[in-house]
Structure 1
Amino acid sequence: MYQTQSEAKNAAIGLLARREHSRKELRDKLAGRCEEVDLEAVLDDLARNGYQSDQRFTESFIRMRAGQGQGWVKIRFELQRKGIDNELVAAVSEAAEIDWFALAQEMYQRKYRTGLDRSDYKERAKRMRFMAQRGFTSEQISYAIESASEWE
């Protein structure tokens, strides 16, 4: 239980030292331990001093998740859950300049090394579900499947 703003701020800095956090994440993590502390003032102070930045968090998160092979739909959903507003997400995603079609193609080829028989609709649906769960759009999935069949 943190009694002062200083203790809450030190705890938040400790969390931020491990990885970037969104403002909402920090608030959620500290809320249970800071009942008597003005948590919004602590978070404002961290943002003002550059310790916490939703912009930096969003850039880092998008880079990390794209590096893990996740698609834009899933990344955007996770960022919304973490309290990042849509305008910031859109701005950062444009600046990231990630080719989601190429990423979908890479993930598809990494997962499925064997060809897909065009008459096997069950297998095609299975592969499409896998890619959709990774967060790719139907256009990106179709592109990945079609480009993989060209390589065969």
Structure 2
Amino acid sequence: MRGSTPFIGTALAAGALAVGALVFAPAAAAVTPGTAQAGYDCGTWGAGTATLAATQSGTSATITLTSAVTTPVAVGRDTINATLTFARAGGGTVKFTGKRNPALPAGGAVKIGPLAGTVAPGMSLNSYFAGPALTMNIFGFPVSCDAVTSQTPGPFVFS
């Protein structure tokens, strides 16, 4: 059994290195809060509260929007071109864009995303009020939505 002592020492050293690597590994990027709600008015398409879900991986981020606004007609998968604009704390805007949506039945809630955007550590994004916050192109028809409330529980802050 004497030959196993070096093996145990090697195993313990490897385990200590693995634990050390985990302790000093950079934390995964996270956005807080992960979800927020805001009110939008889309004119003749309707108005209501939307839920925004944010994710982050480094400087890449995505936003998925699920709205109380419904579509009057069925919409096929990945056919809505959308841009969601946020006001950046300190000035300026950040846009999330894409052509991603599930198939939506007539009368179904509009769901768009994930829409892609670029963020920086410490960036804080909230509802945009100086023009359309959400623009969509559905079957060639432009739809503009204005934000009518700030996000609750608060703005998205990216790490």
Range class of TM-score, shorter chain: under 0.3
Question: Which has the larger Rg?
Answer: 2
TM-score normalized by structure 2?
0.23
Q: Which is richer in helix? A: 1
Q: Larger % of strand: which?
A: 2
